[in-house]
Structure 1
């Protein structure tokens, strides 16, 4: 199935400047509407009723036939970006087929919908932009009008919004409006991984300018060509959007912050999390999936989360988010205060160990992990001094987990936990092969991006991918199914625990602490059931009464692509 070029709607000016006068063929309009189009999947009675005769060749293909043909063409694409563009073009033409492809072939397609390829797609988004709307672009030039602009979106029943300002896209920095690839990709995974109805999903980019000079100098950049707005005006713009969304879609609309810069991410989350149904996936989703890996590793290391000593390389929003949720988990499981639990967690930033002697220079999100400890300047010194049991990389510094570091971790621990979580693949702190080889096969390894299995000394090791897709789709499904009005740290802990409990024995035998992505829909269901149960227990729901069969209720609302 070839990518189909942008189509012309009724009365649109053609390339010659004259009006084509397309006069409302019901069949033609149906085929040009992605949510209605079935291509060769229309039956003969449908072709008669919809005025499709003559617009299609006579053959009829089932949805499964179309999925197979689509995958054949997908596999013929030469580059990763070509595969990304092909899938996005398919979404623009036949959304049912697009989601059927993603749902049936999630494991194969996910890298080309989200990480790692979405990083390149965002870098080149202005060049590959197509004219079919995939979401809303809200510009600071639209201040004061955001509520009315939401009315331009054709679907009234929106329940899940992923929105970004494009400032911190993966490990690639400020991509401005080109960061729209992230909300689009995340919401595609909501549907593919958890069955959230795509018609209920809305991607949004807040265009507040960009400080990426290459974007500003690019004549084809599709966003505002101005430096980023900041300060009170920025906060007011974000607030206008959030308040407009809640006014339009109701208090249970779920708002997912995505790829906001460190200077804004924590502050915005803390300001809004008690006011609306929201979470920040980079802070909380990443934290939950990392915590799930730690909880799952107990089966291999024999060490409970409360008995670990953690060292983080990287102290940005991802690192601080993981650290805070780990401290919260230790608190829940041991009864110790969160403040006491934080003392088991250490962090390194670009200036070395975060500690009390540096309080005067630390950003606010690092202060809770500034302990009474001797300052050391580098990772190896910190590993030798602190003797951590778990090393977590969220630094975007490739190869920073070098041989000396991993050998030192292995000297101190029978089964060292090594999580190299930075995305995309090029930013990983080490590869699984390096972790296994330098630890003599002892490492319990996980990464942020996918890696192939590793054969080491006759044993096959399967590196777990700490992919947020294990968490955020299930949390979103729970929020949609029960009409959640808030999302809390307890929800994220419960989601992590539910995920850890889905890891089968054969994966653990291969030293993998995450389930297979092929099982992601059932995993998401288990996560959703656990989170929704907590929402009902805490009264933070709008769908009442609580279903007698909660799992059955959630399964019943899961979208399944079909004609």
Structure 2
């Protein structure tokens, strides 16, 4: 087998395996290196899916699919296209968490990722060049894996998050898989279990913070701009202390977003807009309680705040609509250890006659009567029957989103929320939930899954060659997603189902690209947004 032959069969972007035709085998020097039968992509998919179904656990299914991904991207995405709803939780959340926790034990392939070490800043440009290997990179998902939702700090193992996220971009929106780059920034880890594990593959020291960390981030951003000037930079699962700081530093200069801050906020805002389409209420009239004031919770607050400002309120007026609650209770301006993101949403003690009592959710709900309650606390069962009934007593259609996942961390179950409010609650959850039957009505429960938003958003920004992503474009995307709700049907979901993700990712991409072009934020001249998106969309075909 000559070098050329092995290169093609080992290149997942070019390999077709048994689907190489006889003419291609002749031309590419593959004669005799494959079994005689030339399979169609359809036949390969059927054969591979049957193998997938024989795996006994979800993790084994994921490992099997990753092997297909590593060998043949077209086959992998053709298969995912046919079984999208079944594969999404396996290639990404929640099964990706298992693969991260066992990354050292099951590692077999770097999956074309770039591994940047904080201890070797001089290697950053070379690392990115080597990982890209001459490909035209348009989308980078980068993580330092300090704050992976639900499981915390997993060091270099968290690269699987970036790989999984990019798979969803391709499957949902049609981003070309040869134009994406997953990046791990290995800044060390504070996970003692990993530091003690002889198999751990990352830097074996505590996490580095401060100037040294920010210098590496800066060098990374500069290198990406130099090597891949048309690439969108997507930040994922950074820690509380760094996520907002990094986003704020670069968002006005380059096309970038942080999915935990903005993506989560956008999907939740879209869900709220969908719910308000059903209840015919106005966002300006809502009182919003955020339970769990971390990166996700404050990202949601910021997104709703931006929307209120877009609707004509001043920032000070908009701020009065929010109640941020964390482990200390309601956040006041004199609360200890506030994060920069939290300080924008505090209250003064003088606003309340019972300020000292506002240390738990029940007393806060009793005092402020929120109309919208969002859970990002990972406190299972925190939305109790009495709390939910208190909210429902003071608003016609309460909007209640227990978003913490996995299931065991959810603040409440959808079926309980429907029952406790006699069918009035408008509910979205963080995990997929079956329809709830109550008093003869089938309630569809929307899933506040970032995958509803980021694939279409990212694809639209790339297609439009966006210079930056601003509040106006974010708002346009939220309205596009929130507007897909069927308001005429009793029990309609506040968000569209993941099963229709390819359709509405296309719609969001078009709205986003149009917003970029309308604001003259595109680098390349664009006459027809729909045409540009159609031309750029990749299909899994040989």
Residues 1:538 and 2:519 aligned together: yes
CA deviations on 1:50-90 (whole Å, 9 max, x unpaired) are: 23333322323221222233223323322221122121111
Q: Shift in Å at residue 235 of structure 1?
A: 0.5
Residues 1:85 and 2:63 aligned together: yes
Mapping for residues 44-83 of structure 1, pairs under 5 Å: 44-83=22-61
2:123, 2:507 → 1: CA distance?
40
CA deviations on 1:410-463 (whole Å, 9 max, x unpaired) are: 222222111011233332212212222222222211111212222233332221
2:430, 2:155 → 1: CA distance?
23
2:422 paired residue among 420, 440, 463: 440
Counterpart in the other structure of 1:129: 107
1:29, 1:267 → 2: CA distance?
42
Residues 1:450 and 2:427 aligned together: no
Q: Shift in Å at residue 505 of structure 1?
A: 5.2
1:390, 1:242 → 2: CA distance?
38
Counterpart in the other structure of 2:507: 526
Is 2:460–2:509's contact at 8 Å kept on the other side of the alignment?
A: yes
Residues 1:480 and 2:444 aligned together: no
Partner of 1:151, secondary structure, is: helix
1:129, 1:509 → 2: CA distance?
48
Is 1:285–1:492's contact at 8 Å kept on the other side of the alignment?
A: no
Is 2:92–2:165's contact at 8 Å kept on the other side of the alignment?
A: yes
Q: TM-score, normalised by structure 1?
A: 0.92
Counterpart in the other structure of 1:292: 270
Q: Shift in Å at residue 385 of structure 1?
A: 0.9
Alpha-carbon distance change, 301 to 118 in structure 1, aligned in 2, over 3 angstroms: same
* Count of equivalent residues: 535
Alpha-carbon distance change, 443 to 168 in structure 1, aligned in 2, over 3 angstroms: same
Is 1:312–1:394's contact at 8 Å kept on the other side of the alignment?
A: yes
Q: Shift in Å at residue 400 of structure 1?
A: 1.2
Counterpart in the other structure of 1:368: 344
1:419, 1:77 → 2: CA distance?
34
Q: Shift in Å at residue 353 of structure 1?
A: 0.5
Is 1:115–1:449's contact at 8 Å kept on the other side of the alignment?
A: no
Alpha-carbon distance change, 363 to 155 in structure 1, aligned in 2, over 3 angstroms: same
2:442, 2:54 → 1: CA distance?
29
Counterpart in the other structure of 1:18: none
2:336, 2:487 → 1: CA distance?
48
1:276, 1:25 → 2: CA distance?
40
Mapping for residues 60-209 of structure 1, pairs under 5 Å: 60-153=38-131, 154-209=133-188
2:523, 2:406 → 1: CA distance?
38
Is 1:445–1:511's contact at 8 Å kept on the other side of the alignment?
A: no
Q: Shift in Å at residue 300 of structure 1?
A: 2.2
Q: Shift in Å at residue 359 of structure 1?
A: 4.5
Counterpart in the other structure of 2:386: 404
The more displaced of 466-475 and 147-156 is 147-156
1:336, 1:479 → 2: CA distance?
28
Q: Shift in Å at residue 355 of structure 1?
A: 2.3
Counterpart in the other structure of 1:353: 330
Counterpart in the other structure of 1:19: none
Q: Shift in Å at residue 275 of structure 1?
A: 2.1
Counterpart in the other structure of 2:451: 469
The more displaced of 106-115 and 209-218 is 106-115
Counterpart in the other structure of 1:6: none
Gaps of 5+ in 1: 1-22
Counterpart in the other structure of 1:219: 198
Residues 1:338 and 2:311 aligned together: no
The more displaced of 509-518 and 319-328 is 509-518
2:261 paired residue among 283, 287, 290: 283
How big is the alpha-carbon RMSD for the aligned residues of Structure 1 and Structure 2?
1.7
Partner of 1:141, secondary structure, is: coil
Alpha-carbon distance change, 93 to 156 in structure 1, aligned in 2, over 3 angstroms: closer
Is 2:486–2:492's contact at 8 Å kept on the other side of the alignment?
A: no
2:536, 2:104 → 1: CA distance?
36
Q: TM-score, normalised by structure 2?
A: 0.95
Gaps of 5+ in 2: none
CA deviations on 1:73-116 (whole Å, 9 max, x unpaired) are: 32332222112212111101111111112222221111111111
1:169, 1:75 → 2: CA distance?
29
2:167, 2:64 → 1: CA distance?
14
1:288, 1:267 → 2: CA distance?
19
Partner of 1:369, secondary structure, is: coil
Partner of 2:119, secondary structure, is: helix
Counterpart in the other structure of 1:562: 541
